[in-house]
Structure 1
């Protein structure tokens, strides 16, 4: 039976959540989202469950979600409640890297599911329409995303971050041209070292994303080492 605060999806509670002040602070520090955006994800059931909170020693639930605004995944950590009178409490929001450092790698299936929830259920990330190529986007909304396999052939998708673009606002075409230049490769190498990517990582694809959507594949042969 459903009530104002809780329904059940299998053994995982779907709650109405509120935010602890600490969570609000971390959302502002770590994401491009607002506190309302995060609550909307959780309260509409779009967070992908990563654990069974009934087996956690503090009854904490971990929900994965994708932020289109910065092409990144985050994990909301909530104190779950099965009480009819009180909602769950989100205590913090972690970056994907922070979560994986403590609790292990997130499966590609969970990452894909969270991304599909964020972009309306489509199976693949749609390319931005050609008419958008000349529109200005903020520098911080441009990301380079790397896809490939770890040494054990586990598929992996890594957001390298915002590349060194020349202006605070650029067109999608300018972003792609900058990222396709040979001078971008040292930045890519530096980011992979900073993020702890193993040198044996087998690169399949590099993409430029703008506002959460891929706009172009990068020419790996032009920017990679000789």
Structure 2
């Protein structure tokens, strides 16, 4: 006899995930570390406010940054960088790794200065990675980021911005004062006239009116802006943010 309990029982006994197959992706194994050395415990007590449990929680959660490959060390030692929010400081934990396994025993805990005195300065971008992996606030990460040298991407952006500013400083803008068919005074600005980079115009903006195609350029650009003038009162020009120079005047 069919009852309402049957579909519920069937649903409860159905596995949530299908059984693994050869094509099932493997989950990344989390590292497993042991704190067995009294020296490691003493170094932690002397140099940090972290408890042993707090340190192990950071390491077991994979929130430390590997600074070296233990397979390339003759004693299979690994150097793990982490940030302590309690101390507001970076530390390097030395781990004696078990060959070929993601396990190991802590040897000692070094301050950033102790590590750098022995093995050289830590790359600031590794410090940034460790900071981001910690419980540090977004503001702390942001402030630390400001201390770093600009990345190549930032340098390219800065170079493009400087090029844009340089082009803007060299750009010539022509100002046209005119009277509409209804007798209203109007003014428009149009930029990048022909010949603006010529030697004559570089030396004297008033030479702009003598450049080939200048009059035609005025007509075309004015038409694009829908200008219908009864009378042109004057033409002025400036380079970048400089002062206006009179090119033509009706007076």
**TM-score, length of structure 1 as denominator length:** 0.48
The structure with the greater share of residues assigned to strand is: 1
Which structure ranks higher in relative contact order (CA pairs < 8 Å, sequence separation ≥ 6)?
Answer: 1
Structure label with greater radius of gyration? 2
